[in-house]
Amino acid sequence: MEYLQQALFVLMAISAIYLFAKKVGEIRRNIFLGKALDLSDNAAIRWKNLLLLAMGQKKMFKNIPVALMHFIIYAGFIIINIEVLEIVLDGILGTHRLFLPLLGGIYNWLINIFEVLALGVLVVCVLFLARRNWLKLKRLVSKDLNGWPKTDANFILITEIILMSLFLIMNATDQLLQQNGTEHYAATGSFSISSLLMPLFEGFSNSTLIGIERAAWWIHIAGIFAFLNYLPYSKHLHIALAFPNAYYAKLDSPGKINNMPEVQNEVLYAMQPELAPANAAPPASFGAKDVFDLSWKNLLDAYSCTECGRCTAECPANITGKLLSPRKIMMATRDRLEEVGKNINQNKSFIQDGKSLLHDYISVEELRACTTCNACVEACPVSISPLDIIVELRRSLIMEESNAPQEWNSTFSNIENNFAPWKFSPDDRDKWASEMAS
């Protein structure tokens, strides 16, 4: 029976890891459907960003109470994985508390830390559920989150509560079995949090306690494997992608918009034709119409989005009632990228489906509402830039489709003909000075 349990555990572990790796491979492929972009410069600054923004969650601490709650969940997730490692090894080797004889007295100290973290995670998840569903913070009940995104957020929080509860129940029944001198349940010393649950199980027979302890153990680890495979389909993928996204964050001055070399060269060659290369091919397109036209960093941004809504809460266009929501821009980009990925999975390569990111997922009205103020980029805890995507889509609108408001066209025409936004020829611009003199 023991060998059968080990075999089932190994099969479950291999299946979970295989499915997770397969989906991660698909996500990596999808990200690199984007255009090449070299972000290998300034490694020291990039590592600093990773440590401060992703690991230290620097931007979150603009709101200290929320930052501390989020940090508890984050620390719990990272540190409790050490305990998960022991569970996995126990499952493979058929042992129980494998690290106990190796760590001695340190083991009890570690488990007590894990239990405090588990309780912290459990309490914070309950508070976050309350913020979303009872307090209904504006940025957490926006129409951006209608349907699956809201369900996804609640599901993850409830799952965390269940997993942490199972961990504490497992330890509480384990301690009772230790006290009863049950075989295989070696003395670990008292655990600070789970010992408070022990009275709930007193009076149960050893066989019942073993059943509860084993059920909690199996459901806990099966839940973790299930969570592992749910992660790539959820906004909580940012748990992993926040680190590379912070590392590859833009290092330019805040708000700097990259010029298009193709346009700069056209102007240069018009002024100095001798510099134009022979047989120079015209650019294939300007801006971005679909995810293939964006950079791989833009697509990594889309997968890294936490859907927290801080970008939208800071967006002046959204605050004044306009349609634009930077969060929705990122969610729409990810949705389109996932659809493209499914297309590739089915057809081995992308087959045109008559859709594009521009128009089908993101509307002209949304793009025109953006003031390019950079507030969304500044607000994002994991260095995502909705602005880069908006600018590229807007360039395609204007330069590929000639789709701009009349007010913009007048300005463009004036710049082209008069070299300034105003409707005065260069020769007439200084007339006011001569009139003043006379």
pLDDT of residue 280 exceeding 70: no
pLDDT digits (tens, 9 = 90+) for 416-433: 788 788 877 777 777 777
SS3 362: strand
Distances (CA, A) of 327 to 181, 338, 355: 56, 17, 21
C-alpha 414/C-alpha 422 separation (Å) is: 6
C-alpha 219/C-alpha 184 separation (Å) is: 20
Nearest to 39 by CA among 342, 270, 244: 244
- Pick 261-403's CATH classification: 1.10.1060, 1.10.1740, 1.20.58, 3.30.1560: 1.10.1060
User: Which residue type is seen at 173?
Assistant: T
Distances (CA, A) of 311 to 88, 204, 336: 39, 53, 20
**What is the rounded (10 degree) CA torsion for 172, 173, 175, 177?**
170
C-alpha 341/C-alpha 30 separation (Å) is: 6
Helix residue ranges, H only, 104-194 = 105-130, 148-179
pLDDT of residue 29 exceeding 80: yes
SS3 271: helix
Instruction: Give the bridge partners for 35, in sequence order.
Output: 295
Nearest to 386 by CA among 318, 321, 340, 286: 318
Highest mean pLDDT among 23-27, 101-105, 228-232: 23-27
**438 confidence band (pLDDT: 50, 70, 90):** low
326-347 vs 296-304: helix crossing angle, rounded to 10: 110
Distances (CA, A) of 214 to 210, 396, 431: 6, 59, 90
C-alpha 224/C-alpha 159 separation (Å) is: 9
The predicted model gives 296-311 an average pLDDT of: 94
Domain ranges of the chain: 2-31+63-247, 261-403, 405-438
pLDDT of residue 418: 80
pLDDT of residue 86 exceeding 60: yes
pLDDT of residue 18: 96
